[in-house]
A = this chain, B = another copy of it.
Amino acid sequence: MSPAASRVAHIGLGAIGLPMALRLAGAFPVRAYDIDESRLSAAVQGGATAAGSAAEAAAGSDVVVLAVRDQAQVEAALFGAGGVVGAGFRGVVLLTSTIGPAAVRVIAERLASSGIGLVDAPVSGGPVRAGEGDLLVLVGAAAEALALARPVLERLASTLTIVGGAAGDGQVFKTINQLLAGVHIAAAAEAIALARGLGVDPRTVISALSQGAGGSFMFADRGPRMLQAYGDGAEVKSRLDIFVKDMSIVTEVARQTHVATPLAAAAEQLYLLADSHGLGARDDSSVVTLLSPRHDDPEAA
Contact between chains at B200 and A173 (CB < 8 Å): yes
The secondary structure that dominates the A interface is helix
Number of copies: 2
User: Which residue of B125, B159, B184, B196 is within 8 Å of A187 (Cβ)?
Assistant: B184
Q: Report which of B138, B265, B292 forms a contact with A259, defined as CB distance below 8 A.
A: B292
Indicate if the CB atoms of B179 and A213 lie closer than 8 Å.
no
Chain B neighbourhood of A265, CB < 8 A: 266
Chain B: minimal CB distance from A293 (Å): 11
Chain B residues contacting A159 (CB-CB under 8 Å) are 211-212
Does B257 contact A194, Cβ atoms closer than 8 Å? Answer: yes
Which residues on B sit within 8 Å (CB–CB) of A212?
124-125, 136, 159, 177, 217
Residue A253 is within 8 A (CB to CB) of chain B in the complex: yes
Given A124-B213, A172-B200, A176-B214, are A194 and B136 also a contact pair (CB < 8 Å)? no
Chain B positions within 8 Å of A187 at CB level: 179-180, 183-184, 187, 263-264
Q: What are 12 A-B contacts defined by CB distance under 8 Å?
A: A163-B208, A176-B195, A177-B214, A179-B190, A180-B214, A181-B214, A183-B190, A196-B259, A197-B254, A197-B259, A216-B216, A216-B218
